Structure 1
Amino acid sequence: MTTSMSAATFKLAADAALSPAQQALEQQLLTFITEHRHAEQAGLFVIRGDAGTGKSAVLAAAFAKLQALSRQHDANPLQGTNNYLTVNHNEMLKIYKQLAADDPHLLKKDFQKPTPLINRLTKTNHRADVVFVDEAHLLLTQPDRYNRYTGQNQLADLLNLSHVVVVVFDTRQVLKLKSYWHANDLDPLLNRYSHQIFDLDQQFRVSADADVVNWINAFTRGHLQPLPSSPNFDLRVFQDGQPLYDLIRQRDQQGGLARMIATADFPYVVNHGTWYVTAGSLKLPWDKVNLTAEPWALRPETINEVGSIYTIQGFDLNYAGVILGPSVGYDPVSDRVIVKPAAYQDQEAFKRRNDLGNLDPLKVQLIFNSINVLMKRGRHGLYLYAVDPALRQRLLAL
């Protein structure tokens, strides 16, 4: 689905085509937009799918086609429409802006983060024709002063400010309480607005047999199964982090885009020195604050760092070396993977909310979600090291 040069992105290669399901989705989406762009009440189009099912690829392709029609000189039903694609993720926004440089019908201003877009449309009393929202599960569901968002729900705001909203949604990729979405949280909006839902279920990123994807899915729900073998996918468990890193470096030299990534289990304070991730005898720095226009995964020097869920979510790697930190453990009585929120270092993810009831099970789910994001980054291989000795030995026994 991607070029070898930019395999960390969701951009289709020049000679690649959307799958039949993706083609059907693109056509259905453009038809929906055409039918609803003049409606008084917004239309909502929801694309659902697990990590790696090509949601961003088809979204990028459909948006490029929409903008080409909008800016076409020949008359067509979508000519002159005012459209945006928004994503609440700095690294993915960089990729979208790079796409704009390669496509004559796209402009960098077409791509924005949701808060500035919402604030500007509100201030100018302007209504967009179409707003695409990638990673809509990252939209805020409460006010956030740090991000200068004063509303209650960014998706509800975008629906009020647009004729059509297209969202990519996966509740298993929610990573923070301030953007927490229950599985049924979309229902009130679906009941209120004219809508369509499209499910993508074909795995494009993980080029493995179903056994490997099923193993990852089981793990991220706490279940342990025998380690599957696949001729198309290299799945290994390591006794120590150093040989894992050595193999990642080797893979990176061979084909590029092999990186170390880890659960948010190691201390890190922005702009306060260098903070390290440890995995047995391995010690590497966390990813640095990236002020460049180049996404973390595409910068060669980041082979010497460990990426987080916030730098890698939404991206493809060729090989992913995943460090499962101290919050990920093992219960020998139930033979299950367990998580320990008290050991999770990303306490910003657990910033207190009073409207979600008991937060303990939600914190557990957020950690499992982060594991799901990390373990589905590698297209050709996944290498695992568990800091917890009991979990590490159980994984090696599998």
Structure 2
Amino acid sequence: MIQFKIQSFAYRDFDSWCLPWDYHCLYILENGYQIYIGETKEVIRRSKEHCMPSDFCNQFHFKTAYVITSEDFEETPVKHYEDLLIRLMRADGKFEVVNQKNGEWTHYKRKNLFEISFDQLWLKLESLGLVNEKHFQSILNTGMYKYCPDTMNVTQAQHEALTSIIHTIDSGETFPYNDQRFLARPILIEGDAGTGKTVVATTLFYYLKTHPKYKNLKIGLVYSNPAMRNVIQQVFAHTPGLRKNDVIAPIDVTKHRYDLIICDEAQRLRQAKNIGRYMVHFKKGNERLHLDNSHDELDWLLLNADRLILFYDPKQIVCPSDVSQIKFDKRLKDRKRGIRPIALKEQMRIHAGSQYVPYIYDILFQKNNISKKFANYDFKLFSNFRDMWDALEENEAAAKLCRFCSGYGWPWISKEDSKKPDIWLGNHGIWWNRQTDGWLQNPEAKLEMGSVYSLAGLDLNYAAVIIGPDLIYDLTDQRIKVDRQNYFDNKVKHGVTDEELTTFLLNTYAVLMTRGILGTYVYACDPNLHRYLQRFIPSV
């Protein structure tokens, strides 16, 4: 274990500074509201430079310097720690981190040893009042840490995708040909769940908004799903150079013309089918653009943005209000328009690796007869709900961000009487999630049941997926089918065939079964479906 020493000094009283070692060190400058994090081998000289009128740090009038030293420190691990502290302390939110860039992403032989020792350093920072969270692992679960674009370290594959997108924008490839018969060509980025679409989308937006070359462009980042939109809005509200209002709903695109629109989760763009009270706003959106109601939110983006970038996964279409893949393809791949395709293939979320997501879809859509096992991933089928409950509670205590989730196999009883559970499984009464925005961050909601509406696009450490009585295995036909009588989401089942409803429901459960970073637990209410799943998922 690496041993650290943290000393605090009056910032400009350099003569009183006395350090035990002259090795590389970390330092944190603090004024009560803001901090600056740095690394150096000569901390007194570097701190004096920060006091110069021309230095960026001089404007903040820092009062205290915290110097972190260790006889085991060398330049590479110190740069590693600097990067961790900038990202984690920014997400922690106790102070405004004024660093204009991250530390360096490093790789070295003793990295695991220093990562283990970082836990102790963080506890010391908490005892000094420099951070809010006692355990930095809690910060790793926040949207601010996962999606904050100015502290994001993208992978090589994501960097290549970003470079391709920027080059396409700069080259003018997205504009129509000179011939008036042709239309603007969107950039279409496709990838499975967990391939980092949201990371690429937010990083791209940050780059465009903060690069001088694009400063005069009106740019918006669109999310149709309110839960995901709220998460990214909160991240942008605390990101230098961005604003909460940069993240918008599709309806906002009808109110202003945009030079460039980025739309994440484009499969959730809506059409005029089973959209309930939103129909009033939907009609107004079409009226603003002089369209009739046969047009949809995808039309709004195509019509009112000069350049359009769409992040899309058709396998996550889960209800009839989503623009269908057939319509999507017809609109984009028309010979007068066309697309610039980019693919994301690297699995970034799920520790099971890139074969897991296709395997889940193959199981549910009965395209697979071969069982697979996934190393370093906790994938289990439970026959007893109590055992699943206990396992999830244990993981919640250790890792946090663990949730139950399901389709809509039970009516929403608590809507009328909040004291009555919506769902009974064994002796456990469970409520549907009582909020959408901020549900994952609410510790009181950890034993509520989430849905595809509260979880689409978001991560869990462990997903406990309850396949309710809405989905059954028909022994006669040997097919997975929907039980319409036990499906209670009227927005989905109204006006659709059993075949269509089954597809929506299978996609829903596939989405839920691809939320878990560290593991996915499955419990099936239908005994026949449980026996079918036993062929493919390790049983306990």
TM-score if structure 2 supplies the norm length? 0.65
1:246 equivalent to 2:390? Answer yes
Matches within 5 A, 1:327-366: 327-333=470-476, 335-352=478-495, 359-366=497-504
Q: 2:239 aligns with which of 103, 118, 134?
A: 103
1:149 equivalent to 2:293? Answer no
Aligned to 1:47: 189
Cα distance, 1:212 vs structure 2: 4.0
Which moves more between the two structures, 133-142 or 370-379? 133-142
Q: 1:387 aligns with which of 521, 525, 530?
A: 525
1:279 equivalent to 2:425? Answer yes
Which moves more between the two structures, 261-270 or 238-247? 261-270
Matches within 5 A, 1:1-398: 4=137, 5-7=139-141, 9=143, 10-11=146-147, 17-36=153-172, 39=175, 41-69=183-211, 72=212, 76=213, 78-115=214-251, 117-121=252-256, 127-142=257-272, 144=275, 146-147=277-278, 148-150=281-283, 151=286, 152-183=295-326, 185-191=328-334, 192-193=336-337, 195-209=339-353, 212-223=356-367, 225=369, 228-268=372-412, 271-274=415-418, 275-290=421-436, 295-333=438-476, 335-352=478-495, 359-396=497-534
Distance 1:247 1:13 in 2: 34
User: Could you list the per-position Cα deviations for residues 315-342 of structure 1 after superposition, in whole angstroms to 9, with x for gaps in the alignment?
Assistant: 1111010000012111335554333344
Contact residue 493 and residue 501 of structure 2 kept, 8 A:
yes
Structure 1: gaps spanning 5 or more residues: 122-126, 353-357
TM-aligned CA distance change 1:209 to 1:53, over 3 Å: closer
TM-aligned CA distance change 1:16 to 1:84, over 3 Å: closer
User: Could you list the per-position Cα deviations for residues 192-234 of structure 1 after superposition, in whole angstroms to 9, with x for gaps in the alignment?
Assistant: 3353011212222111145544431222213565654333101
TM-aligned CA distance change 1:81 to 1:264, over 3 Å: same
Contact residue 37 and residue 130 of structure 1 kept, 8 A:
no
Aligned to 2:61: none
TM-aligned CA distance change 1:8 to 1:319, over 3 Å: farther
User: Could you list the per-position Cα deviations for residues 233-287 of structure 1 after superposition, in whole angstroms to 9, with x for gaps in the alignment?
Assistant: 0111111222212211110110111111111111126843335223334321110
Distance 1:214 1:280 in 2: 32
Contact residue 150 and residue 206 of structure 2 kept, 8 A:
no
Which amino acid letter does the alignment assign opposite residue 433 of structure 2? D
SS in 2 for 1:120: coil
Cα distance, 1:17 vs structure 2: 2.7
TM-aligned CA distance change 1:14 to 1:132, over 3 Å: closer
Runs of 4+ in 1 over 6 A off after TM superposition: 12-15
Which amino acid letter does the alignment assign opposite residue 170 of structure 2? T
Q: What is the identity percentage for the equivalent residue pairs of Structure 1 and Structure 2?
A: 24
Which amino acid letter does the alignment assign opposite residue 278 of structure 1? W
Cα distance, 1:350 vs structure 2: 2.6
TM-score if structure 1 supplies the norm length? 0.86
Distance 1:397 1:36 in 2: 51
Which amino acid letter does the alignment assign opposite residue 271 of structure 2? T
Contact residue 131 and residue 165 of structure 1 kept, 8 A:
yes
User: Could you list the per-position Cα deviations for residues 147-180 of structure 1 after superposition, in whole angstroms to 9, with x for gaps in the alignment?
Assistant: 2102321111211111111111111111221224
Distance 1:86 1:229 in 2: 37
Which amino acid letter does the alignment assign opposite residue 248 of structure 2? Q
Contact residue 339 and residue 367 of structure 1 kept, 8 A:
yes
TM-aligned CA distance change 1:364 to 1:397, over 3 Å: closer
Cα distance, 1:183 vs structure 2: 4.3
Distance 1:342 1:222 in 2: 23
Contact residue 472 and residue 528 of structure 2 kept, 8 A:
yes
User: Could you list the per-position Cα deviations for residues 34-63 of structure 1 after superposition, in whole angstroms to 9, with x for gaps in the alignment?
Assistant: 334994753311111111111111111111
Distance 1:109 1:281 in 2: 45
User: Could you list the per-position Cα deviations for residues 338-374 of structure 1 after superposition, in whole angstroms to 9, with x for gaps in the alignment?
Assistant: 333442211211333xxxxx73322111011101110
TM-aligned CA distance change 1:145 to 1:387, over 3 Å: closer
Contact residue 52 and residue 203 of structure 1 kept, 8 A:
yes
TM-aligned CA distance change 1:114 to 1:15, over 3 Å: closer
SS in 2 for 1:43: coil
Distance 2:368 2:332 in 1: 37
Which amino acid letter does the alignment assign opposite residue 424 of structure 2? T
- Over alpha carbons, which structure has the higher Rg? 2
Distance 1:320 1:341 in 2: 25
TM-aligned CA distance change 1:38 to 1:324, over 3 Å: closer
SS in 1 for 2:517: strand
- Which structure exhibits the higher relative contact order, with contacts defined as CA atoms closer than 8 Å and separated by 6 or more residues? 1
Distance 1:63 1:316 in 2: 21
